[in-house]
Structure 1
């Protein structure tokens, strides 16, 4: 009987020792990975270093090109609305994004005469891979020439796209909210 008890206790002790050792290693790794934010001079030095890379050179050329200037001008036109998170009137111009885009679900819109990509992010599926989340269900009902009201917290750009990219945080059609981004969990 004692042999059976020892045979059961010894593996239990070994496994619990491994679990505790693994936990301590993870705690040490998480402490090391947390670093303080870079200072302004360190950020500037890192940016200069990146600008010397082939990607950085390509980006700087795009930025001064007519296409890059057009995108930056489009961003500047709506920056006031983005910063204040105020309404922007838009008209849907296309229900699909430019070919080859990797922005997830989105539509093309025109705001004050300029075209923008209105991006909502990837469509997430439920636990059952056949059911898609209903988060974008009402957005799929949009049609070309629909007038919508948009609010967004951010606008960005990328050399790959000929249009500024507006992050869709709130969309309203006919005075009815058809999309409102859920706040992120565990964040501010």
Structure 2
């Protein structure tokens, strides 16, 4: 009888010891500090480091060039409507993007006399079906959350989040999956 009790208690003690030891190991891992976001000073220091690299030097030269100034001025011109996500009237000037662009599906548009690349991102089947009905000189309403630029392109890049033609929505970007 004593041997049977010892045979039952011994595995119980061993399993209990392993569970308790595993709990302590998990507690040790959770005590690691979580990484904090970089401060403004750290971000400025990283920016200065990047500006010293060949890519940073090339970007600074592009910013001060006539092409760079034109692109930056165009991006600044629509900054307020983009930040407020308000309507911008545009006219389609071309149904194709500049040669060599890697922006996915997009068209060229003119907003307030300035040419922009209206980019919709990588092409997904059937996602841009209604956009294929657009023609040159069509007047559309654009709403966007983002305007960007790159030295590779001679035009500011507007992301197409909402497109309307003749008071009908022809494209609305689906919300991001997984939250914000």
Q: Give the length in aligned residue pairs.
A: 151
Q: Which residue of 2 aligns with 1:156?
A: 148
Q: Which residue of 2 aligns with 1:176?
A: 168
Q: Which segments of 5 or more consecutive residues in structure 2 lack a partner in the other structure?
A: 1-28
- Corresponding residue SS for 2:86: coil
Aligned to 1:167, which of 137, 143, 159?
Answer: 159
Task: Give the structure-1-normalised TM-score.
Answer: 0.77
Q: Which segments of 5 or more consecutive residues in structure 1 lack a partner in the other structure?
A: 1-27, 125-131
Give me the whole-angstrom Cα distance separating, in 2, the residues matched to 1:139 and 1:89: 16
Q: What whole-Å deviation, never above 9, does each CA across 1:32-73 have from its counterpart, x for those lacking one? A: 9x7321111111000000000000000000000010000011
Question: After the TM superposition, which residues 19-98 of structure 1 pair with which residues of structure 2 at under 5 Å, given as runs?
Answer: 35-98=35-98
Give me the whole-angstrom Cα distance separating, in 2, the residues matched to 1:104 and 1:96: 10
Shift of 1:187: 2.2
1:187 maps onto 2:168 in alignment: no
Give me the whole-angstrom Cα distance separating, in 2, the residues matched to 1:65 and 1:78: 21
Give me the whole-angstrom Cα distance separating, in 2, the residues matched to 1:44 and 1:119: 30
Q: Which residue of 2 aligns with 1:138?
A: 130
Higher alpha-carbon Rg: 2
Q: Which residue of 2 aligns with 1:18?
A: none
Shift of 1:183: 0.5
Give me the whole-angstrom Cα distance separating, in 2, the residues matched to 1:107 and 1:36: 40
Question: Where does structure 1 differ by over 6 angstroms across 4 or more consecutive aligned residues?
Answer: none
Shift of 1:123: 1.1
1:112 maps onto 2:104 in alignment: no
Task: Give the structure-2-normalised TM-score.
Answer: 0.80
Quote the RMSD (CA, aligned, Å): 1.7
Q: Which residue of 2 aligns with 1:23?
A: none
